[in-house]
Amino acid sequence: MNSDFIQEELKAISPEIQCHYFEKIDSTNSYAYFLGQNNHPNWSIVIAEEQEKGKGRLDRKWESKSGKGLWFSILLRKSIEPRKIQAVSLIFGELIRESIQTHLREKYGIQNLSINTKWPNDIYVNQKKMCGILLQGAITNNLYNFIVGGIGINVNHQSSDFSEEVKNIATSLYLETGKIINREELLIHIIQHIYSRWPQHEDNLKEILDEWKNHALFIGKKIQINHYDKIIEGVFKDINEYGHLILEQNHGSVQILTGDLMNGDSK
Ligand code: BTN
């Protein structure tokens, strides 16, 4: 990618944004976490063309091929209560979903692509994963004193760019639209969108969580959740203000803090 263009455009969004660009890095999240620990400012952003050890949730690896996707991490220096961290992750998801949808419509005339959020941290297109989000942070005195939002987006991948392991569950914007997307422009659009809509108040938080719900897969449907290697079943009723999933079961409702939502049953 053209790092000079990216630097200039990010500066134009706000001088507050500090960009760290790498052709190759182990993981943008690890580097942003290091910046967090070393007092780098709010809105430091780490962007890489390629990650050698891209990290996914639950210690999984994240495939981050050079020249194909967007791999970046945003350092936010805000005090956040640990119970609100899942909501923050949903906020990232909804703002990214909205930005990609708008950009594809405005720049490429793509109207009918349905892009969905999927609890807890994913963005799906046509039932396959196009984007994953990994939130990390450091807690002192019972509060996160910084968080890192790591974002991986499969943009111009062809099927052969994915490993056998993920080929059937992953997709890219190119595979779903047939269009090669300019990655720099998409990146700038997403960062601009997150920067301008990041909720400053609790009210905005609720508004964005509602938008997340409007675009979420499987709400109101029968689902299975892999929760610490135990499968729990029920109906995906809602999310609460902390972004936890409310699952309705025969004996009542339970709130699920984390897990893998496995599949919906549209009956
Ligand atoms: C997941 O779905 O499991 C989360 C994937 C998050 C991947 C992104 S790519 C940029 C950032 N750096 C990392 O090492 N991981 C995140």
* Ligand 1 neighbour 54 (Cβ under 6 A): yes
**Any idea which of 13-27, 159-173, 175-189, 193-207 has the lowest mean pLDDT?**
193-207
Long-range contacts of 99-103 (CB under 8 A, 24+ apart): 99/189, 99/190, 99/192, 99/193, 99/194, 100/131, 100/153, 100/173, 100/186, 100/190, 102/189, 102/193, 103/185, 103/186, 103/189, 103/190
Q: Per-residue confidence at 264, pLDDT binned at 50, 70, 90?
A: low
Report the alpha-carbon distance of residue 112 to residue 246 in Å, rounded.
30
**Ligand 1 center–CA 132 separation, angstroms:** 6
For residue 48, give the ligand 1 atom closest to its CA: 10
Tell me the pLDDT of the chain averaged across its residues.
Answer: 95
**Ligand 1 center–CA 72 separation, angstroms:** 8
Report the alpha-carbon distance of residue 222 to residue 215 in Å, rounded.
17
To test the pocket of ligand 1, the residue of 60, 62, 135 to mutate (highest count of ligand atoms within 8 Å of its CB) is: 62
CA distances from 11 to 19, 44, 82, 217 (A): 9, 11, 31, 35
> Length of the chain in residues, anyone?
267
pLDDT for 170? 97
pLDDT for 93? 97
**Ligand 1 center–CA 65 separation, angstroms:** 12
pLDDT for 258? 87
**Ligand 1 center–CA 149 separation, angstroms:** 9
- The pLDDT tens digits for 30-48 are 999 999 999 999 999 999 9
Residue 266 has pLDDT above 50, yes or no: no
pLDDT for 35? 98
Hey, whose CA ends up nearest to atom 7 of ligand 1? 152
